[in-house]
């Protein structure tokens, strides 16, 4: 059970800031003004005073000297700037009114630490939920979009106005989408998909898709062939390829990485276990699902009646 900390009004946030002494250590000067929200050892969870009308609750440190050591649990160093520039909770006071801005979605992967932070420090009356149907993320039942991929740097947020312990969302609604197959793209690739499936069925029983040594060898071959292309998305031992490379392979029967792409699929569905007609149907269904992802055939379809 996550304890909800009582910071329910702008006045309480201001009082919290004033009551906490800044950390002073070999990593932080008093001028850094790092004021932990709770346990002083968890200094990445701290409160910042921007000005008399704005306070920010952070879940990552802002001091460069401890950038690598105290970055939010589970976040890579490359996400440092995005964590500090898009904090989880911001309190503002404008024209006598109080507002809270919430940012739950920073990266593609599940950000458990941030979700826990929100559940601990959101004021009473504001609730974050990431366990709803279809993996939707909502705050007080208001939908908030999530990053589409690693290149999506959109500032996904919702802002709420406080009226006692009641909250009104004042942000323009985010378009709610669900993943769907791009039927036109798939139809254009149908012949190649069918041919590759038939080829996988014929050679699959002869391939070793599970042994570490084999996977390492195939990965090294793939890296050597690609010669630095898509450097930012390195080939893993699962042999996940960039969509453009995967399309290049599936369209060329003699492509040198054809076996490597087949192995990527066969790691997920072992062809050697097929014994019945039902097994064959399941194998084909898994292939279709895998192909939709591997060849970039999925798109986001906007929901009109969410």
Q: In terms of Cα–Cα distance, which of 272, 275, 225 is closest to 248?
A: 225
pLDDT at residue 176 in the model: 86
Confidence check: pLDDT of 230 > 60: no
Confidence check: pLDDT of 68 > 50: no
pLDDT in tens, 208-222: 988 999 999 999 999
Confidence check: pLDDT of 231 > 60: no
| pTM passes above 0.85 | no
pLDDT in tens, 122-172: 999 999 998 655 668 899 999 998 887 767 788 999 999 999 889 999 999
Residue with tokens 């306070």: 55
Confidence check: pLDDT of 76 > 50: no
Cα dist from 270 to 32, 201, 214, 283, whole Å? 55, 11, 15, 8
> Judging by DSSP bridges, how do beta strands 138-139 and 142-143 pair with one another?
antiparallel
Confidence check: pLDDT of 89 > 50: yes
Q: In terms of Cα–Cα distance, which of 232, 6, 25 is closest to 122?
A: 6
Dihedral, 115, 116, 119, 122 alpha carbons, nearest 10: -80
pLDDT at residue 66 in the model: 41
pLDDT at residue 305 in the model: 56
* Whole-angstrom distance, CA of residue 98 vs CA of residue 161: 6
C-alpha 216, offset from chain centre = 27
């Amino acid at each position: 059970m996550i304890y909800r900390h009582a910071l329910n009004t702008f006045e309480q946030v201001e009082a919290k800031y004033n009551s906490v002494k800044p950390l002073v250590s070999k990593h932080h000067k008093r001028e850094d003004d790092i004021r932990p929200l709770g346990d002083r050892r968890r200094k990445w969870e701290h409160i910042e005073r921007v000005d008399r009308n704005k306070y920010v609750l952070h879940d990552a440190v802002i001091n460069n000297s401890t950038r690598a050591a105290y970055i939010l649990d589970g976040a890579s160093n490359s996400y440092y700037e995005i964590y500090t520039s898009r904090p989880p909770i911001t309190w503002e006071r404008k024209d006598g009114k109080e507002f809270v801005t919430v940012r739950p979605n920073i990266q593609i992967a599940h950000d458990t630490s941030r979700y826990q932070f929100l559940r601990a420090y959101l004021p009473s009356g504001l609730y974050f939920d990431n366990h709803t149907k279809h993996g939707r993320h909502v705050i007080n039942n208001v939908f908030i979009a999530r990053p589409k991929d690693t290149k999506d740097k959109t500032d996904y947020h919702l802002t709420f106005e406080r009226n006692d312990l009641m909250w009104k969302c004042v942000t323009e609604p985010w378009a709610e989408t669900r993943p769907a197959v791009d039927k036109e793209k798939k139809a254009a690739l149908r012949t190649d998909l069918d041919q590759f499936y038939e080829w996988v069925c014929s050679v699959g029983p002869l391939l070793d898709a599970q042994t570490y040594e084999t996977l390492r060898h195939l990965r090294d071959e793939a890296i050597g062939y690609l010669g630095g292309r898509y450097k930012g998305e390195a080939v893993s031992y699962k042999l996940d390829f960039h969509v453009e490379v995967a399309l290049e392979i599936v369209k060329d029967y003699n492509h040198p990485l054809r076996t490597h792409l087949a192995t990527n699929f066969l790691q997920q569905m072992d062809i050697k276990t097929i014994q019945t007609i039902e097994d064959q149907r399941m194998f084909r269904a898994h292939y279709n699902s895998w192909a939709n992802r591997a060849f970039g055939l999925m798109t986001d379809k906007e929901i009109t009646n969410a």
